[in-house]
Each structure stands twice: as C-alpha cells, then as structure tokens.
Amino acid sequence: MAKTVGDFVVERLSQWGVKRIYGYPGDGINGVMGALDRAHDKMAFTQVRHEEMAAFMACAHAKYTGEVGVCLATSGPGAIHLLNGLYDARADHMPVVAIVGQQARTALGSHYQQEVNLAGLFSDVCDFVEQVSVPAQLRHVIDRAMRVAKAERRISCIILPNDIQELDAVEMPPHVHGTNHSGVGYEAPRVVPEAATLQRAADVLNAGHKVAMLVGAGTLQATDEVLEVADRLGAGIAKALLGKAAVPDALPFVTGSIGLLGTEPSWKMMQECDTLLMVGSGFPYAEFLPKEGQARGVQIDRDPSMLSLRYPMEVNLAGDSAATLRALLPLLQKKSDTKWRDRIGGWTDSWWKLLEKRAKAKADPINPQLVFWELSPRLPDDVIIAADSGSSTNWYARDLKLRRGMMASLSGGLASMGSGMPYAIGAKFAHPDRPVLAICGDGAMQMNGINELITVAKYWKEWANPKLVVLVLNNRDLNQVTWEQRVMEGDPKFLASQSVPDFSYARYADMIGLKGLMVDDPAMVGPAWDQALAEDRPVVLEARTDPNVPPLPPHITVQQARAFMSSLFGEPELGSVLKNTARQVVSRVLPS
Ligand SMILES: Cc1ncc(C[n+]2csc(CCOP(=O)(O)OP(=O)(O)O)c2C)c(N)n1
Ligand SMILES: [Mg+2]
C-alpha cells in the first residue's frame, strides 16, 4: 500500500523522536488515525476523555521529560478543546506540537459543518501555525513545527484538511522553484554570557552582604550549581512554584516558596536582602521581591525577554542556568561572614515549627495541612508530583518537603484548574516505572478529574509500576476562591458560586476498578497514606477536609485584614471561619 500523507506525518514525527501522541479522534483527523494504527509499533496513542486533557498531557510530557509533547484533535470542536492546555504550555514555556484536522479543502470557505478558522484560532497561542494544502508542503511544515517547539520552547500547530490525509505522500518534493528540502533534528546550544558580563555580575554578587536567590523552573536541572553558588555567596534560596523541586526543602538556607502561597522566611529574606540573584524564573508578583532600590540585582534566564521584567536588574545574563552558574562560580568569593545565613536558618527553623503547629491544629473533620504534613516523610524517593490549582496548591507549596530526585510541577503561569489529573497521567506515561502523585481539589475533580480517572482505569495495567495516588481534598467548596472573596474582596462566601456538591470519590474509584480510600479522622491520615502508597493499583485517597482553615499568606496587609473583617458580616459559615482562624493565628503567636 502506498504511503499516505497520514503515514508520512507519523513517520516524520517518529524520526523527530516522538513516541507517543495524546489525543481524540474525529472525521477531521481519521487519515492520521489510520496511519497511527498502521505504525503502532513505533508510535503509541493515548486516548483521553477530552481534548483539553490531551494538551495538558503533552505539556506534562514536556515538563517531566524535557522533550516535545504532541497532542492531536479533530477539526472544529476537537481543535477548540485543545486550547486551554496549549495556553498552559505556552505560559510555562513548554514545547508542544498540536496536530489538528480540518474539513476538506473543497469545503473550506462555505460555512461548512465543523469549519472553523483554525489558523486564526491558534494564531495567539502558537508561534508557528500552518495549514498543509498540498502533500509536498508537509515535510517542511512538520520539520519547522518541531524545530520551533523544541528550540524556542513554543507551541506549534499543524492543520491537516481531511481530504489531504488520504493522498499519496510526497516524501521528496520536486527540486524546483517554490519547494523546500527540510531536514530533521536540532542540537541545543550551551549558552553562556561573555566573560566581561559574567565578571560584572560577579562584582555585584561579591559586593553583597545579604544575598537572596530566587530560583524557578529553569533551575530544575541545575541543583548542584544553585547549591554551590548559594554556598559561595552565603545566600538563602527562595523558590517560585515551578521551581519547587529545584533544591531540597529541608536545607536550612532554603526558605521555600515565595508569593501569596509562599513562606514567611521567603518574605523576610526579600524584605531584608541587599542583593537579589534571580535564576530561571518568571515569578510574577513583584510585591514579594525587594523594593526597587533596596537591592542590587543580577538575573539569569535563557529567554532574554524574561530579563529585568519584575525587578530592574543591574546585570542581565542571557544564558542557560546550569552553564551560567558554573561559569560564575570561579569568579565568586566565599563569604566569610555567616550572620546572614544564620539569620535565615533561624527563620526557617521557626517556620517549620510553626507549620507543624498549624498542621496539627484542630479542624472539622481534618485540617488540610495535616494531610500534607503526614505525607512529607512518606513521599517515595523517586515520586513525581502533579499539583492542581486550588487551596491545595498552598499546602503543596508550603508544607511538602521535597527531597532530591523527586519531580514536581503544576500549571504555573496559567494556574488552570483541572491540570492535576492529566499532568499525573502524562507523568505516568513518561515514567511508567516511577510512583506518581496527583494533588487535586474536589472542584477540579468534578471539572474533569473524575473523567480522567477513567483514562487511568483504561491504561494502568500497561504501566511497569502501577503506583499512582490521587489525593482529593473533599472540602465541598471552591475553597481558594472562597478565601480570595473574603480576603481580597471583603465579601462573605457566596454559596451559590462556591459550594461544590458532595461526591464519593473513593467509591467511584472502586467502581471503575481502582482502589478508593476515604479518611475523615485526623488520627488516620498517616495510616491512610501508608495504605495508599502500598497498594498495587492506582488509588484515590479522599480526605474530608475543613474548608474554613485559612490559607494565610506570608504577609497580611492592612487592606487584606480590613477586607477579611468586613467579609464576616453576612458570612454563612461564620462560627467555623472564626474558630479556625483563631486556631491558626494562635498557633502563630503562641508557638509553644
Ligand atoms: C479553569 C479554571 N477555572 C477557574 C479558576 C479559578 N479558581 C482557582 S482555584 C479555584 C477553586 C478550586 O476548587 P477546588 O478544586 O475544589 O480546590 P480547593 O480550592 O477547594 O482546595 C477556582 C475556581 C481557575 N484557576 N481555573
Ligand atoms: Mg474544593
């Protein structure tokens, strides 16, 4: 049988090293589906419940492997469904290629069924988007889509009208005017700034007495370099959410997360530092960084457009984190004065004690922080974590103690709900031998997580290690936003928008052949984790948590305190809110 355009798509992607495509079928893309079936020995296909999940999984694949993630959808509605996941990848600079079907070329422009201007639709999220109109064009479109994604860490989209997918492939375009003869492959450079620029940066860092580092996703592969530079500079290290796995949490000079979901030591360090070294991070909230003029700044980022964006840096180093930090090291003088580091160590020490007190404070029935406190020492060494967006992100950011060798990510820039489950599935396909943990709210589970558990039920027996634990914080509330309404807006909880129907996540898991566990007794949280992590199949661990434990920010402004006070007038859950806030605040002022 002659090779079709569909076959060529699969074969070329395979030459680029793609081994799996996440997607969903439809008549706009059936020519590629047939090809995927014929090429099943070299290209795997994961069928999701909803195309948005395919895009999230492709993004997760990129985050957990460093490779290009690929997702696929049919024309019209299928393609539209991909968008949110693609924006997630774009916001976090992840390389993803989307392949979408389109109606037949003969129908386009006729207000045809499922005809959508896909090039227009994808033009904002993609850096490269092209509709293939003749087979001879396909080779360079695929090569360019892959190269743009891989080299620039951007989103590419290939639009394939369905009638073209069945035509004979043109493997080698004619050698005539108007054709291209593209090739496969890309070797990433090692980008290091000029020696003179490095020296200027070193001069700033050497002159500082109180150096604060802020590291992000760009340092996930630069753990040794970050730690060595921090040691040399006597610096503390704060972490942006996407960089949580960059350095271990238990080190005394690691102040943990920064921002609204961050820690007090990170806040204090930024308030007091005289020098800021920011590496591989696009952390957005400038109010958590030093005040302008307070500190001298040096920043390292592989993407020059991210430099000096949140803080006016004195030296802007465009380069790879690991290589640039390595090149800086010989220029950095070891600080002999340990006062600053000791001060940071004092902050982190009392912070962990405070977190323990907060986690162990009474709540009804379970304090959500306790779930994370009990999990930390039980985290498997090589676990991969996927966190969703919600109140759990606070506890993930603050309470979980990650160790070296673990991976962890979430929807950072887009902060999209419903990313936890697909990220976990993407992690599982990327590393089937490693244990994976998803951390989700009940709202996120009802948005799409419970559907995607069906994908887990469909595939888990293929995974070398079936360990996948999905923690669901069942608080019957869209809790993160409920607290935002109280603290930012000064409004009481709006039951109509915030209450989430109760649902038995554990019983549902049992029903679809997974293991369901439910815990509603604080004394059983530790044993529940032990059991969840010991099962021989994917587990849903449903924790019935109290929605009225406040996710206290590291620093409360007068405005927030006022708003909170005014939200209490008309608060439908007043008694519980007051009790929990008092317990959390008392654990702060009376740590003993
Ligand atoms: C797709 C999407 N819709 C809405 C939001 C706004 N949002 C952020 S967190 C949140 C509540 C999440 O609720 P749940 O999953 O139950 O977690 P909880 O905060 O209760 O722990 C909402 C609505 C968002 N980030 N993403
Ligand atoms: Mg909830």
List pLDDT tens digits, range 459-475. 999 999 999 999 999 99
The residue whose CA has the least distance to atom 13 of ligand 1 is: 478
Cα 239 to ligand 2 centre (Å): 25
Q: How far is the CA of 544 from the centre of ligand 1 (A)?
A: 17
Can you tell me whether residue 556 is helix, strand or coil? coil
Instruction: Return the residue whose CA atom lies nearest to atom 3 of ligand 1.
Output: 417
Helix (H, G, I), strand (E, B) or coil at 434: coil
Whether the predicted pLDDT of 523 surpasses 50: yes
Any idea of the CA torsion for 480, 588, 368, 500, to the nearest 10 degrees? -30
pLDDT for res 591: 42
Find the helix or strand (DSSP H, E) in which 97 lies. strand 96-102
**pLDDT number for residue 448:** 98
Which of ligand 1's atoms lies nearest the C-alpha of 368? 21
417 CA: nearest ligand 1 atom: 26
Q: Which residues line ligand 1 (CB under 6 A)?
A: 389-392, 415-418, 441-444, 473, 475, 477-481, 500
Instruction: Tell me how far the alpha carbon of residue 104 lies from the centroid of ligand 1, in angstroms.
Output: 39
Instruction: Name the band, by pLDDT with cuts 50, 70 and 90, for residue 589.
Output: low
Cα–Cα distances in Å, from 98 out to 81, 156, 284, 321? Answer: 12, 6, 27, 28
- Please state the rounded mean pLDDT for residues 53-66: 98
Cα 445 to ligand 1 centroid, rounded to whole Å? 10
Q: What is the pTM of this model?
A: 0.98
> Which ligand 1 atom is at minimum distance from the Cα of 446?
15
Q: How far apart are CA 541 and CA 554, in angstroms?
A: 29
CA of 485 from ligand 2 middle (Å) equals 14
Tokens coding 20? 């799996």
* Cα of 78 from ligand 2 centre, angstroms: 28
pLDDT at 554: 87
Number of residues that this document lists for the chain: 592
CB burial class (10 A; 0-12, 13-18, 19+) of residue 188?
exposed
Q: Which of 333, 353, 301, 324 is nearest to 211 (CA)?
A: 333
pLDDT tens by residue, 303-320:
999 999 999 999 999 999
Type of residue numbered 88:
D
**Residue 552 — very low, low, confident or very high, per pLDDT cuts 50/70/90?**
confident
Q: Which of 86-90, 509-513, 541-545, 573-577 has the lowest mean pLDDT?
A: 573-577
Q: What is the pLDDT of residue 1?
A: 65
Q: Which residues pair with 534 in a beta bridge?
A: none
- For ligand 1, mutation pick of 393, 481, 545 (most atoms within 8 Å of CB): 481
Using the structure block, give the residue that is written with the tokens 């959808």. 73
Question: What mean pLDDT, rounded, does the chain reach?
Answer: 97
Q: By alpha-carbon position, which residue is closest to atom 22 of ligand 1?
A: 481
Cβ neighbours around 477 below 10 Å, total: 25
Structure tokens at 54: 């395919």
Q: What is the residue with the minimal CA distance to atom 4 of ligand 1?
A: 417
Identify the nearest ligand to the CA of 485 by its number. 1
Pocket test residue of 389, 414, 416 for ligand 1, highest count of atoms within 8 A of CB: 389
Strand partners, 22: 46, 71
% of residues, the chain, pLDDT over 90: 96
- Residue 253 CA to ligand 2 center (angstroms) comes to 33
Measuring from atom 7 of ligand 1, which residue has the nearest CA? 481
Tokens of 569: 């007038």
- Ligand 1 centre from 354 Cα, in Å? 27
Q: Which atom of ligand 1 is nearest to the CA of 418?
A: 1
> Which atom of ligand 1 lies at the shortest distance from residue 442's CA?
16
Per residue in 20-34, pLDDT (tens digit) is 999 999 999 999 999
What local confidence, expressed as pLDDT, does residue 558 receive? 86
Structure tokens at 325: 């930090």
Residue 65: band (very low, low, confident or very high) from pLDDT cuts 50, 70, 90: very high
User: What's the pLDDT tens digit per position in 555-583?
Assistant: 888 888 899 999 999 999 999 999 999 89
Token code pair at residue 565: 């006070």
Give residue 243's Cα distance to chain centre: 10
Cα(574) to centroid(ligand 2), Å: 18
Confidence of residue 592 (pLDDT cuts 50, 70, 90): very low
Number of H helices, E strands in the chain: 23, 18
84 CA: nearest ligand 1 atom = 1
Average pLDDT of the residues in 245-270: 97
Estimate the crossing angle of helix 51-65 against helix 77-91, to 10 degrees: 30
Q: How does residue 586 score in pLDDT terms, banded at 50, 70 and 90?
A: confident
* C-alpha 545 – ligand 2 centre gap (Å): 9
Cα separation of 412 and 285, whole Å?
13
Q: Does the structure show a pLDDT above 80 at 455?
A: yes
Nearest ligand 1 atom to the CA of 389 is 9
Ligand 2 midpoint to CA 556 (Å): 23
Whose Cα sits closest to atom 16 in ligand 1? 443
Ligand 1 atom with least separation from CA of 440: 15
